[in-house]
Structure 1
Amino acid sequence: MKKANIEEFFARLKAQRPEPRTELEYTTAFELLIAVLLSAQATDVGVNKATAILYPIANTPQAILDMGLDTLKTYIKTIGLFNTKAVNIIKTCQILVDKYQGEVPNTREGLEELPGVGRKTANVVLNTFFGQPTMAVDTHIFRVSNRTTLAPGKTVELVEDKLIKVIPKHYIMDAHHWLILHGRYTCKARSPLCGECIVSDLCGWKERFDYGVSNPIES
């Protein structure tokens, strides 16, 4: 995608959602971290339902450690892979208490040493809570980046690197949320809403003409 088109691409996404935010519900860095850990292969709606019950009871590392593994599982059992996630959460809470006085580290290195926390999760926390210009490439962002030709790449790492390079600096802080929401609600995997897309004329996906967008060459 051309540089001028990228500028316009994000200008429109910003106009559509001036103040984008994650759909995960949280109030602290720890609550966000746990929500993101739970969100792997789960919906934000499902995670929010579980944390709405969990957080009033335990929303700090020590409180969850005091709760124990088996009790924690009862709160998150509606979420996919809850057994593995519960184990990782307990291990993560222990590290946070032992090494960080119960606080969530604001560095990539600190976050990625926590069980279950990979680069994507670390990027979400760094960007969403700590305000760092990172790019967490999930399935939606990967699809949008490749489909639109904004930042095509065969791997998550390649797409992440390209996005950081091509996105104008004045959009980088919110770009993560704009791209996720665009992929979730408009540029869907199976039935993209090209006819309703505010950036369809900037998109490099040739097949978009099959989804309700008139071909400018023929029209």
Structure 2
Amino acid sequence: METKVKICGIRDLESAQAAVQYGADAIGFVFAASKRRISKEEAKHIIDQLPVDVEKVGVFVNESRDVMEEIAECGLTMFQCHGEETYEFCQSLSLPVIKALPLKSKQDALKLDEYETSYVLVDSGNGPYRGGNGTTFPWEWLQGMSFPAPLVLAGGLHSGNVQTAIETVRPAMIDTSSGVETDGVKDLEKIKAFLQAVKGRTK
């Protein structure tokens, strides 16, 4: 089964369209404190011009339900909860949920059992932000584990290491942000190279 790809931290239409052209299955928009933060209006402008079958994921950190639902009106199809949100909170939302958990130790992976959401995402626990820090963790921590939901692997992934990550972890989806940037800005060639590395095809 082909590994899906989410390109996160999109802030402009050109990057979003390039990601879709090269095979991205999901586009992530960050509505939490981040250098990649986007407004509801900016996200809507991009989403309105993307194919229907591409997931539009809104990334939030400990946000209120009301704010999340209001922002979702821009055309989001999924929520990504990247804070201390409970399973009950995730269940109360109107859209499917990716629950993100940072891994600072192998023991942290056991917390994934608490979330039977649409996806669970694992990211490195190192860095100043909840995600998008460009740091990896030992993928071997996840070997031999089973999870209650399909797994999304994030954290320091780029075209040079993503195939090894997929072979080690066998995730349902791969998520990258800083791995397709140059000097903090989305790089179309890196987006293309990353998607080719995962999908093994050219367009």
When normalised by structure 2's length, the TM-score is 0.32
Structure 1 or 2: more helix by fraction: 1
When normalised by structure 1's length, the TM-score is 0.30
Structure 1 or 2: more strand by fraction: 2
| Structure of higher CA gyration radius | 1
